[in-house]
Amino acid sequence: MKITEITPHYLLDMNDEGVLPWSSGLLLVSATTSDGTTGYGEAITTFRAATVYEAIKRTAKFYIGRELDAPQLLLSEIKKQDYYYFQSFESASAASSIDIALWDIMGKQFGAPVSALIGGTRRKEVELYANGWYSGCISPEQYAERARDVIRRGYSAIKLDPFGDAFDTITDEQLASSVAVLEAIRNAVGDRVKILVEHHGRFSLRAAVNVARAIAHIAPYFVEEPVHQSSLELLRRYREATRGLVSVAVGERICSLDESIDFLSDHLVDFIQPDVCNIGGISEAIEVCRIAEANGVVPTLHNAHGPVQNAATLQVDAAMDNFTIQESFYEFMSGWKRKLIQGAMRIEHGRMVIPSGPGLGININERLLDELKVPCEDKIPDAPIIWAVRGTVPVRNAKH
């Protein structure tokens, strides 16, 4: 069974801005083998869609004509040939998307879900924490009311970034505003609901420590990327200064198994958050989870993009031993993204049922894929902070 074709597909609904300014589009990849089997993967782009698109086309050349015996072997070949793979987000995202598509094919060939091929299916559903739910919220009252709505849907955990446009430093006013939002949410949802606090890797050490001390009474389930991730020493010092105050999660920007070892071996984090779309696909994500378990760290995969990423993430969740909770934008992502999957994912009482069909367990609506396909161009979103949930950061100094 040889790989005969690998094609990137950039999708965009011109009438839908999306919850996240940097992910209004979607970059999928299809892979086909000599027997006609097709599998799908997904790539992370941020605002580098065009460069990742081209990276997929270049990376595909390493795969075409090769036997599909094991996706892991092919990924190893890419790492050997792509000299700067470990320094390139584009290379990592391209290889990850192809790896996911090849696992989808493998599962279809064997008539089994991917989870059964990477260690065995350990669970049929997963607890979710909702993300993307707070679009348009500015005041503590707005956050509180929206949080109540999410909990009424059955979720037991929610994540948010309450820090507005603070970056590197945080003023007393910004910190007070952020604490007010978190206190309002805690009062609205009660003590049993898990609140996870996203920092987006934006703070200096001093600012991040001040934040941790100010929000500790909220009892966050974890704080995510509290300091700039360019320095492990910065995270180590943060860890020392906040031990006993907060639990730490990091990992969505890690682009290889090797890189994850730095966070795991020195016990710098309590939770590790690899993303199947840039860690090295399903092949590397499950390995990170196993190494994390050996180091007493809990994996909880990053999952903020599209429906194929979501399906691949669930297959890894099903196969890992020490699963706890899974990030989900699914109910809050653009409707057209959900419609790409025929037979939508089921969320019941804040838990998502893991597809049990062959491969990723999903079927792509190829008619809709063709309708939404557009030329892949980089467009910088018109937003105060492009990685913030839309409408949560006031527009300052607007032109009149």
- Residue 271 pairs in a beta bridge with 249, 298
For the chain, the average pLDDT equals: 94
Q: Which of 54, 145, 104 is nearest to 308 (CA)?
A: 104
The predicted-structure confidence for 295-334, as pLDDT tens digits, reads as follows: 999 999 999 999 999 999 999 999 999 999 999 999 999 8
Domain with CATH 3.30.390.10 in the chain: 3-112
Residue 400: the pLDDT is 36
Domain with CATH 3.20.20.120 in the chain: 116-364
Q: How far apart are the C-alpha atoms of 220 and 209, rounded to whole Å?
A: 14
Task: With cut-offs at 50, 70 and 90, classify the pLDDT of residue 81.
Answer: confident
- Of the chain, the end-to-end C-alpha distance in Å amounts to 61
Residues designated as active site: 200, 302
Mean pLDDT of 147-154: 97
Q: Which fold has domain 3-112?
A: Enolase-like; domain 1 (3.30.390)
Task: With cut-offs at 50, 70 and 90, classify the pLDDT of residue 398.
Answer: very low
The answer to whether residue 145 scores a pLDDT higher than 80 is yes
Beta carbons of 315 and 360 less than 8 angstroms apart: yes
The answer to whether residue 193 scores a pLDDT higher than 90 is yes
Q: How far apart are the C-alpha atoms of 144 and 110, rounded to whole Å?
A: 47
Q: How far apart are the C-alpha atoms of 121 and 290, rounded to whole Å?
A: 15
Question: What is the distance of C-alpha 322 from the center of its chain?
Answer: 18
- DSSP string for residues in 94-132: HHHHHHHHHHHHHHHHHTSBHHHHTT----SEEEEEE-S
Mean pLDDT of 19-28: 85
Give the position of tokens 């996240």.
20
Beta carbons of 246 and 216 less than 8 angstroms apart: yes
Mean pLDDT of 129-137: 96
Tell me the Cα Rg of the chain.
Answer: 20
The answer to whether residue 395 scores a pLDDT higher than 70 is no
DSSP code, position 21: G
Q: With respect to CATH, is domain 116-364 assigned 3.30.56.10?
A: no
Residue 399: the pLDDT is 44
For the ranges 43-57, 229-243, 376-390, the lowest mean pLDDT is seen at: 376-390
Residue 381: the pLDDT is 73
Q: How far apart are the C-alpha atoms of 160 and 394, rounded to whole Å?
A: 16
Task: With cut-offs at 50, 70 and 90, classify the pLDDT of residue 74.
Answer: very high
Mean pLDDT of 247-266: 92
Residue 91: the pLDDT is 94
Beta carbons of 206 and 226 less than 8 angstroms apart: no
